[in-house]
Amino acid sequence: MTFADAGNAALLFAFVVACYGTAASLLAARGRLPELLHSARHAVVALAALLTVAACALFHALLTHDFSLRYVYEHSSRAMPELARLTSFWGGQQGSLLLWAWGLAVLSLVVVWRLPVPALRAASAGPASHGGLEGRWGDLHLAPYVIATLLAIQTFFLFVLGFVGSPFERLEAIPSDGRGLNPLLMDPAMRVHPPLLLLGYMSFSVPFAFAIAALASGQVGRSWLRAGRAWMLLAWTIQGCGLLMGAWWAYRVLGWGGYWGWDPVENVALLPWLTATAFLHTLLVQERRGLLKVWTMALAIATFALAIFGTFVVRSGVLTSVHSFALSPIGPYFFGFLGVVLIGATALLLYRLPLLRAEGQIDAVLSREAGFLLNNLLLVGLAAAVFWGTVFPLLSEAVRGVKVAVGPPYYQQVTGPLLVGLLLLMGGGPLLAWRRTSPERLARQLGPPLAVAGAVGLGMAALGIERGLALVGAAACAFVAATVALEYWHGLRARQRGGESGLRALGTLVARGRRRYGGYLVHLAMVLIAIGVLGSGHQLDRLVTLAPGEQARVGAFTLTYDTLYELRGPGYEGVLARLQLGGPRGEYLGTLQPDRRVYANWEQQPVSTIAIQTTLPWLQDVYVVLTEADASNRVTLHVYVNPLVVCVWLGGVLFLLGTLVAAWPEARGPRAAVGSAVAVQPAATAGATQEGA
């Protein structure tokens, strides 16, 4: 038996274990049998082990060139260096799904480890005695349902991996070499970006599992909120980093001068991130005021459904045409699963509506609650528009038989106003008080940020920037930044009045209010990203052809072409051009070395390595693509000047930092408890309508 056979066996056995574990935890939940729950926990451990074996088997097959496996043959070749072959693991659909399942198995282990363990002898005592026994991540009532949901999801993936599209499928004749991986996917960023997105998609299972557990057990209180928030934050962070890595990869590798092309695969990855963002915000309203409970649940469910949709779309190419959609062998299963998830979860939600009644009402339009409602409208509206634009070509082809394209102009026009709305809300929202803000007070608080925004807008206009969108966008960015600064300043001043010195006060301020001040850092990150996006609207591009020694002017920059070198590396050969970059006054800014490679097996798809140099003081990227080199060493270059794009990457770093601050486990628990104790209020309006229904 080879290692690959062992991997295959591990997958099949894992399917059986997952089926058993799902049944056992469900029985444990219904019959409240702790023994069965213990058994289900063991199943989770076994699954992690089995999937690790399967994953190692695939890695092993890729490293040892086991071309008897169809997957290895289709996604790697002998010419590829070792690290690139490891990347092949997620270069295709089956491997991607295996990574997903493996990730879920390991994450389930962490989830289960954090869930409370029932005492074996407590079996007869009944659920009431568990009341006070609250675990860190959810109480005892949730545990069996959380495990059941996670294992049910796992069962589906193992079914697909084991019986529909196995990564261990054998070829009848063993080829001597493989087809190799698309060279565009061999970039180092590809080692990180696809697994991050897959793991992000996968992580949305956990908040979903807690939502289902809360609904199934009827324990829709604090434990669910706490666990749901923590796990959603994790998934949201991973997905956010995956999206940013994807943008970075596109920018550095694809060579069209941009980083976000509104490609279907990018779009579907954005969708769960958007709904998760909405979820994280409404959760605050629910914690604080006990409102919007149904809506929060719906968002958790929708996020997971979108994550499943994205997982299916990411490697299958199904969104390119109706045919590939219909012909995809795993398609029907995925849509069946999606249907089960949506119908089942909705039914459960409807069944539990009485438990999810709002504990109050939104008292005023000028209140933090109303601000969050608006935030949700914009975020969900954004997600809906992107989803609709992404699936519309399929719909058109299916209904009318006419292919249409929905391209960047659509997305820019539809999402632009919504994004500006979100920015404005990010600036104004934090200044709204819970329950009610008087217009006078709001006006007073809005004053300074609005003044800053106006000053920035006017300053930009004075600098000679004429585009309306750029001016409005810059002012909106300044508005948000000023609000965040103001919030920090108010917090700091209050601490300093308490006798703390500057830096120390900042430390305690952030430590005591991690969620709030971490959240503000994320807002600042969004501002930076918005600045980058606005800046790239002012892109300049030129196509130039140069002979050695010749010079070209692009914008304020000059490019001097020195020489052409030959390039030879593992699995590829090509040419490399050396250029000197000069600034506006002819000063030397750096050397650019774009190259152009042809990979073995991919001769018809030459790959350019793009040379990018970020220049000061306006943070303009000079972005050079070598598109052609002829026999007499003349080169054709596509040169872009991209202002401020570097802000997107800086924003990405700040995003990660902010989420780390917000998500870092509290050393001591009482803070959150204080927050919600304050929020307790009499349910005076029993007749209140259901929010968001």
Find the binding residues for other proteins in span 331-370 (CB under 8 A). Answer: 360-365, 370
Of the two residues 440 and 603, which places its CB atom closer to other proteins in the complex? 603
Which secondary structure element, helix H or strand E, spans residue 595, and what is its range?
A: strand 595-599
Q: Which of 19, 117, 263, 578 binds other proteins (CB under 8 A)?
A: 263
Contacts with other proteins, 395-434, as mask; x by CB under 8 A: -x--xx-xxxxxxxxx--xx---x----------------
The least CB distance from residue 54 to other proteins, in Å, is: 22
Burial of 109 (0-12, 13-18, 19+ CB in 10 A): middle
Q: How far is the CB of 11 from other proteins (least distance, A)?
A: 20
Among 116, 228, 643, 692, binds other proteins (CB under 8 A): 692
Enumerate residues 76-105 that contact other proteins by CB under 8 A. none
Regarding 685 and contact with other proteins (CB under 8 A), the answer is yes
| CB of 41 closer than 8 Å to CB of 22 | no
Establish if 538 lies at the interface with other proteins (CB under 8 A).
Answer: no
Q: What is the spatial distance between Cα 74 and Cα 67, in angstroms, rounded to a whole number?
A: 9
Q: Which is nearer to other proteins, 78 or 403 (CB)?
A: 403
Nearer to other proteins, 7 or 183 (CB): 183
What lies within 8 Å, CB to CB, of 670 at 6+ separation is none
Token pair of 388 as six digits:
């609709």
Q: What would you report as the CA-atom Rg of the chain, rounded to the nearest whole angstrom?
A: 27
Nearest-approach distance from CB 486 to other proteins, in angstroms: 26
Nearest one of 338, 282, 333 to 307, comparing CA atoms:
338
CB of 191 to other proteins, least distance (A): 22
Please choose, out of 323-331, 343-351, 477-485, 523-531, the segment that lies near other proteins by the rule CB under 8 A. Answer: 323-331
| Residue of 317, 459, 548, 583 that binds other proteins (CB under 8 A) | 317
Mode of pairing for the β-strands spanning 557-569 and 572-582: antiparallel
Q: Which of 438, 630, 653, 664 binds other proteins (CB under 8 A)?
A: 630
Q: To the nearest whole angstrom, how small is the minimum distance from the Cβ of residue 16 to other proteins?
A: 29
Binding pattern to other proteins, positions 652-671, x when CB under 8 A? ----------------xxx-
Size of the site for other proteins (CB under 8 A): 73
**Beta strand 611-615 pairing with 607-609:** unpaired
| Nearest approach, Cβ of residue 606 and other proteins (Å) | 8
Segment near other proteins (CB under 8 A), from 46-54, 484-492, 510-518, 680-688? Answer: 680-688
CB of residue 458 to other proteins, shortest distance in Å: 28
Output 326 or 660, the one with its CB closest to other proteins: 326
Q: State yes or no: residue 381 binds other proteins (CB under 8 A).
A: yes
Helical (H) or strand (E) element with 561: strand 557-569
Task: Choose the stretch contacting other proteins; rule: CB under 8 A; options: 122-130, 279-287, 315-323, 616-624.
Answer: 315-323
Q: Which one among 6, 19, 42, 261 touches other proteins, defined by CB under 8 A?
A: 261
Beta partners for residue 558, in sequence order: 553, 582
- What count of Cα atoms within 13 Å lies in the side-chain half-sphere of residue 37? 26
| Shortest Cβ 491–other proteins spacing (Å) | 23
**Distance, CA of 8 to CA of 457 (rounded, Å):** 61
Q: In this chain, which of 81, 188, 329, 336 binds other proteins, going by CB under 8 A?
A: 329
Q: Is 151 helix (H, G, I), strand (E, B) or coil?
A: helix
Q: With binding defined as CB under 8 A, does residue 173 bind other proteins? A: no
Q: What is the DSSP string of 264-303?
A: HHHHHHHHHHHHHHHHHHHHHHHHHHS--HHHHHHHHHHH
According to DSSP, residue 582 is labeled E
Residue in this structure with the two tokens 């007070």, named with its chain if needed: 441
Burial 395-428 (b: 16+ CB within 10 A, else e): ebbeeeeeeeebeeebbeebbeebbbbbbbbbbb
Is residue 545 a contact point for other proteins (CB under 8 A)? yes
DSSP secondary-structure letter at 254? I
SS (H, E, C) 603-646: CCCCEEECEEEEECCCCEEEEEEEEEECCCCCEEEEEEEEECCH
Residue 61 Cβ vs other proteins, minimum distance, rounded to whole Å? 19
By beta-carbon proximity to other proteins, the closer residue of 290 and 449 is 290
Among 149, 475, 638, 652, indicate the residue that binds other proteins (CB under 8 A). 638
Identify the three-state secondary structure at position 504: helix
Please identify which residue in 338, 578, 614, 628 interacts with other proteins, judged by CB under 8 A.
628
Q: Is 436 in the site for other proteins (CB under 8 A)?
A: yes
Distance (Å, whole) CA 642 – CA 665: 39
Q: Which of residues 636, 650, 656, 657 is near other proteins by CB under 8 A?
A: 636
Whose Cβ is closer to other proteins: residue 487's or residue 691's? 691
CB of 558 to other proteins, least distance (A): 18
For other proteins, the closer of residues 321 and 613 by Cβ is 321
- Our CA dihedral for 371, 372, 375, 381, rounded to 10 degrees, sits at -120
Q: What are the φ/ψ torsions at residue 219 (nearest 5 degrees)? A: -95, 80
Nearer to other proteins by C-beta: 449 or 692?
Answer: 692
Q: Does 121 bind other proteins (CB under 8 A)?
A: no
